Structure 1
Amino acid sequence: MGTTKLTQALLKNTKNPKLAWQLFKRIQSSPSNPCFLSSVPTIARILIRSKMLPEIDHLHLLLLSSQPQEKSLPSLISLVNLLAKSGFFDKAFSQFQSIRKMFPQNPPSICLYNVLFGCCIKERRSDCVLWLYKDMVLAGVSPETYTFNLLICGLCDLGHLEDARELFDKMPEKGCLPNEFSFGILVRGYCRFGLANKGLELLDEMRSSGILPNRVVYNTLISSFCKEGKTGDAEKLVERMREDGLFPDVVTFNARISALCSAGKVLEASRIFRDMQIDEALGLPRPNVITYNLMLEGFCKQGMLVEAKALVESMEKNGDLMNLDSYNIWLLGLLRNAKLVEAQLVLEDMVDKGVEPNIYSYNIVMDGLCKNGMLSDARMVMGFIVRSGLSPDTVTYSTLLHGYCRKGKLSEANAILNEMMRSGYVPNTYTCNILLHSLWKEGKILEAEELLQKMNEKGYGVDTVTCNIVIDGLCKSGKLDKAMEIAHEMWTHGSAALGNLGNSFIGLVDDVSRSMRCIPDLVTYSIIISALCKAGKIDEAKKKFREMMGKNLQPDAVIFDTFIHIFCKEGKISSAFRVLKDMEKKGCNKSVQTYNSLILGLGSKNQIFEIYGLVDEMRERGITPNVCIYNNIIQSLCKNGKIQDTTSILDDMLQMGINPNISTFRMLIEAFCKASDFGVAKELFEIGLSICGHKEAFYSLMFNELLSGGQLSEAKVIFEAALDRSFHLGNFLYKDLIEKLCKDGKLEEASGILHKLIIKGYKFDPASFMPVVDDLGKRGNKHEADELAEKMLEMASDGRVENKISRKPKELIHRKETKYGGDDWQTIVHRDDGSGIALKTLKRVQKGWGQGSIPSLQTEKTEFLDYW
């Protein structure tokens, strides 16, 4: 068969690769046949496209065994080239190594080295890069500028910026001059790791080398400076662009807006956006769809839904600006802010306007419903997906699975997993990680370990996220040393470090190359550092921080916030601000958590003025303070006796649309009652009811504070209102109220409260009867005293006794010891020094009724006394 005919026959059987392979093997008995070598590229493409790996290995062996061997070298190199470009890097690399061993004196061209370098970098295989580089040098193959660019890019991606710079500087020694791409790659590397100033220095070098920077380099630097909060430097770069004859385009402005929004500086971004809309005469580019979507996403992330809605309405007026991506951003923003009804309306509006939601749109809604615990509604959305002609995907099922796991409904989650597999969707590592996290959270450690085994057996892969879940679970279960041991071993053994969990995990990962990629990341160190700080091991946490930096892992805001929080909690404000300074140097922006910790720390040092300064700074940065921030400010003001200033803070909260919570009103009410300003306290109580609703915590708080302040009439009104709402009495000091009413001569009111408690069917402490019975006896109301005593004995004998009041320490301080003090009513009955009339009444009733000895009136035998 001729060369052309064989190639044509192979091409005709592209869709039947096994037959094509059989045709090709007919001539394998004569490898020297010219048809054999000329048809190798064709059959290689067919086999690679069909992923017939054993046949590819067979083809490689055939080529190696062909005679003369030198003639097969181009075909071998072609096969390696095809494998590498098709994503089969491991096989391409192993075949290349065998070729180099077989033909050491015939090095391939630099082009093949470049292809393999590119694949190594994509796969993050630094070991292979090193081997290839050494082989290239020994083979005498001269690298090109493109080769250096690939290597510099790989080093930058790995965070080895110093090595990348060193290689960049050596390029002229190897006869390769850096081009604009070389500079651009290194600039991007510096900017990616928050070193925009070094990138700017490189820009100056670029100009001195006679290479004019392009827009990409400028846009990269502008974006990085914006992320670091250096908007002034970004503006100067825009001017330099103009000086170089490069007018800022929409990409330049989009880069600035994107960086500012990502940094939470939405107000600054919106000013740029507004200028683009109205200052066309100044030569500013008009915003495009990407610009609008960036601003919409920025508003949504910051919870600025009013501004986001106005932007959506303006986009809808211009139909070209509102696309499917825009609607998905708007949906995501609404659901992140728990606006479920509005999101549903948007979904309906999309259909009405002819914009068909895709599976991502539905998955956004599913995620929002599941996070809000609305699992039945999420199941309904599954039905909508099917009816719309789409199919739920792995993300859909995983989202629903996560929802059930979050609720602790593991059996339902397992049912979803089975449904997912029946529908033909194979669970991935992410799906299994959801289940694993849930099992650790529920304390089901054995089940979690079994799942790890199954993940390995099924080949789902154990990734860094999996290891982080295990490490987090160990930390929370008090096994910090074990968690740190696994994290340390991950650097050398990858995911196989989970073998430290026990003998059953020693062989957890068989694929060494895969397990080695599972190395600690920022999340790993964040978990360990946080656990060490919570355990009070600050010095060890610092060591872990230094270790992380030594591994070229740059800390993020979460890790810095962890240190700031613990220092503020311990009152080490100067240390906290030193960490803050380092945080800003690294380009990490302050978050709400950062400000919250700092305000808490400053409050402990009575630095109120500095607290107000931080709040002003938050607003300038476009960060809205949350309820925790305001609560900490109120706490600091109350602690420092500036309670009159707290009402303005409350007004500020309400104007900002931030609803105070029960903790807010608790602090305010307690502070004003302590200052005997009961009028303001009652106003705050009413405001709290209107915002947070009629909660038992509000009523018990107000009642107890009024009672301790001697406001008996107001306290009685609150208590009766609480009885009308059938609140639990555990936190109400109602016995104190009855006693104080009797002491003030208000026997009828005290008796009325007892009767109301009885009528409402409450179980309460029978000792509450004692002051009233005692007072009735003193007044000679023998009949009424006997009735109450009878009721008291009836409640005691029936066991209808309320649990002891769960007072907080502050409430115990407010309550003074009284004649009937103490929670045990039996102790009061048997006292010798105060309740004589009541005791006589009880004995008379007991004797007259012929009930004999009532066990509930006898002193209980306590086993622990006998033991001692």
Structure 2
Amino acid sequence: MTAKSPIFVIRRHLPIWVSLNYRSYTIASAALVQGPPKDDKDAPDSAEFVSAVQVLKNRLHPDRLVHVLDSTSDVTLALKVFKWASRQKRFQQTAETYGHMIFKLGMVGDHEEMEVLLNEMVNLQLQNIEQTFDYLIHAFCKNYRPVEALQVFKISNLAKHRVSVSTCNALLDAFASQGGNFCSLMFVYKEMVKAGILPDVETLNHLIKGLCDIGCLDLALTQFHRMDKKQCFPNSQTFEILIKALYTSEQADKAVELLNQMLDLQISPHFDFYNSIIPLLCSINRFKEVIKLLRIREDAGGNLDLHLYSYLINCLSANQQIESAVELIRKITNSGLAPLTNMYMDIVDGFCNIGKFTEAMSFLDEGRVLEIEPYNTLLKGFCDVSRYQEATVYLKKMAEGGLTNVLSWYILIKGLCEEGLVRKAFQVMGRMIISSSSSFVVDGTIYSAIITGYCKIGAYENALSIFRLSCLYDLSLDSESCSQLIEGLCVVKKIQESAEVFYHIIGKGDLLTSNALSELIQGICHNGKVQEAIKMRSLAVFNGSSSNSVTISTILLGLLDLNKEKDILTFLSQILVEGCALDVKTYCILIHGLCSKFMMREAAILFNQMVHESFIPNSETLELLVVRLASCSQLHLVMHSLDSLIKKCGLLSPTMCNAVIYSLMKEGHKHEARNFLDTMLDKGWVPDAETHVLLVGNNNKDGRNENDDVFKALGDDKVSKILAEGLEDFDNHMALR
């Protein structure tokens, strides 16, 4: 009978584990570890456990135990074997064996068992314990487990075992690289200070970066200025952190001052410093500092970096330092390198911006540039200043040299169309098609340009024909040209045709400009198709198009004209859910609609919201609201807003103030009524006889209003649930006041 081989096999020549080699622990190996140990105190011993014990029983040694622990991915089994070994009388655990077991527990997040073993290790006062703490922290940090590393760090500090400053830096770096862990980062730094671990420049760099990341730039600069008191001196990384932070906080001048301070101190930048700082300096047009940095880099033995020179050439060209940019191109060429295409494009663009088109052409000819993009840049420069004749001649020259692509032709065609020169654009398009050196086809971009051209000259029928032709060929048109076509068709009252274009755009998933949508909605509503207008607006917004206040107001007015007051509330709920902001006109329309339906509570809510947003209603809306609320004895719902209006802008007239005072007294709000009276008197207004009688107490004893019964008969309208919760919350807030 053949005996089964044990699961755990010990190699004949075991490596002696002197220290916990954290470099052997990788993410890949950590992924094999199974989930946290379970309490199996009463469970029978598994075959794997029995096999492991058989291997160790008569030859138990720390090295052999480490090998067994490392040979299984089952943390439960490993911990059980570890505890079994601890119970053997002739065996003494070492810091190394504890380190291996603690690491396995940490990789599955079992902090409770980790803490138990860490405290056991401390209490046993094992040799090499500080080294084990160091390596555990490094291992956890390398495997992106900073929480577990921090747990080890805490216990080592409590036990007065001081870890090295490099270990603390590894832990600081782990928290700093994750972001949002400044509290943990500060905890580590404070514990370092308590333990007497002297920080080095790397430590302070982590602290400064952490302060910058949470927006405490002033504190970061304070730490920077105090570095010498801690016997630390800034390096290029220190300056890089602060320069980037100053730039991000829009303190570009201070960032440049700091850079000059670094150069004055003759601190040699690290090569990563150049890649990080030069783009920032170019973005704020500090090309002189960039030139200085590049010289320092090359003096230090750095190769000519095309990527960095590209930033500098762009900056020089944008600042009209064209000759300097051309000199850099020559320097690059003389060094045996090929300039990047965008370098040529930036220089040509720079020439065009200062009107030096002849120099731009000479630059491309002398450089024997073979890429098409710089020539297209020059062609666009001609078109941008409406020099179409020169652009046409130059395009012909480009075509003869085989230096055109479809974009070359499009640039000129689009330029001509935007000027309304559609006939000339067709001529250029014809040359493009019959050009012997061209295999280009007319695509959607060309059709879009032609549509734009026709719209420019008001030939909307022609533009519509081009649109339909492009649909026949299933070409993709840009949304801008289609939006222009919709606006134009609406101007000439071709609403059905504009709707045709609209549904095509929506079907393609393209966006519509807010002006085009507004014009279309107005046309649809004018034809009495308000429900279709609501549907079209919903489709456009769902597709990502923006809807302006004119569109919303148009729909609301359309619903009001059709006496669809309940639909007004439904539409209001929809736009509030979308997060649309209401303007004065929209508020007034809504309040009119609600008042006409005698939905006074909802009208009051909207009015309060309107005033809260500092909008001032027109006199017609205000008068209608006050009269209707007074007739329903609900004027108190808006009394705070009315008080605000009269104090801020004096909008209420003496007649309306009398009505407000009279109604508030009838509703039992005498204090507020007297406040309104005081405001009237301050303005020099005199209350009428009826108000005076009411205030002095000779009013009708039962306080009845002749309209009370009428409005009671109307009952409460329960559609207020349609309103968004935000408006109801505002109403509650006003009531509490």
TM-score, length-scaled by structure 1 = 0.37
